[in-house]
Structure 1
Amino acid sequence: MMDVKMRKRMLAGFIAGCLLWAPAVCFGGSEPIQDFRLWTPVYVNFPISGPVKGYLEANPRFSDDASQIDQLLLRPAIGYQLTPTISLWQGYAWVANYQPNYTQEHRIFQQLIYNNKFSTFTLFSRSRLEERWIQ
Structure 2
Amino acid sequence: MPSRTRSLLTALALAAASPAAAQTSQDTQLWLNTTLFGTHGDFVYFAEVQPRFGNDIARLDQLILRPAVGWKLNDALTIYQGYARVENTPAGMPSFSEDRSFQQLSWEIGEFQKFKLSSRTRFEQRWESDGRDVGFRFREQLRASHPIFDEAWGLKAVGWSEVFVALNDTDWGARAGFDQIRTFVGLEIPLQEKSQGKSTVEVGYLNQTVNAPAARVEVNHILSLNLFVRY
Of residues 22, 41, 50, the one that matches 1:50 is 41
Q: What percent identity do the matched residue pairs reach?
A: 36
| CA drift at 1:30 | 2.9
Query: Which of 1 and 2 has higher RCO (CA within 8 Å, sep 6+)?
Result: 2
Q: How many residues align?
A: 112
Higher share in strand:
2
Which piece of structure 1 moves more, 124-133 or 38-47?
A: 38-47
1:104-131: CA deviation from partner (whole Å, max 9, x where unpaired) = 1110000100014426121110000000
Choose from 39, 60, 69 the match for 2:51.
60
TM-score, normalising length: structure 1: 0.75
Q: How far apart, in 2, do the equivalents of 1:54 and 1:26 lie?
A: 49
Query: Is contact 2:109-2:119 (8 Å) kept?
Result: no
Structure 1 segments (4+ residues) deviating >4 Å? 24-27
In 2, Cα distance between equivalents of 1:30 and 1:121: 40
Letter in 2 for 1:34: Q
Task: Give 1:91 deviation, angstroms.
Answer: 0.2
1:106 corresponding residue in structure 2: 99
Secondary structure at the aligned position of 2:27 is classed as coil
Task: List runs of 5+ in structure 1 lacking aligned partners.
Answer: 1-20
Conserved? CA contact 2:52–2:62, under 8 Å: yes
Amino acid at match of 2:31: W
Q: In the alignment, is residue 132 of structure 1 matched against residue 126 of structure 2?
A: yes
Cα deviation digits, residues 7-39 of structure 1 (max 9, x gap): xxxxxxxxxxxxxx9xx8687443532321121
Q: Secondary structure at the match of 1:40?
A: strand
Cα deviation, residue 59, structure 1 = 0.8
CA offset at residue 102 of structure 1?
1.1
For residues 26-69 of structure 1, what are the alpha-carbon distances to aligned partners after superposition, in whole Å with 9 as ceiling and x for unaligned? 8744353232112111111111x210001011111111101100
One-letter identity of the residue aligned with 2:68 = A
Residues 73 and 26 (structure 1), Cα distance of their counterparts in 2 relative to 1, 3 Å cut: farther
Structure having the larger proportion of residues in helix? 1
Q: Alignment partner of 1:35: what SS? A: strand
Q: Which amino acid aligns with 1:82?
A: L
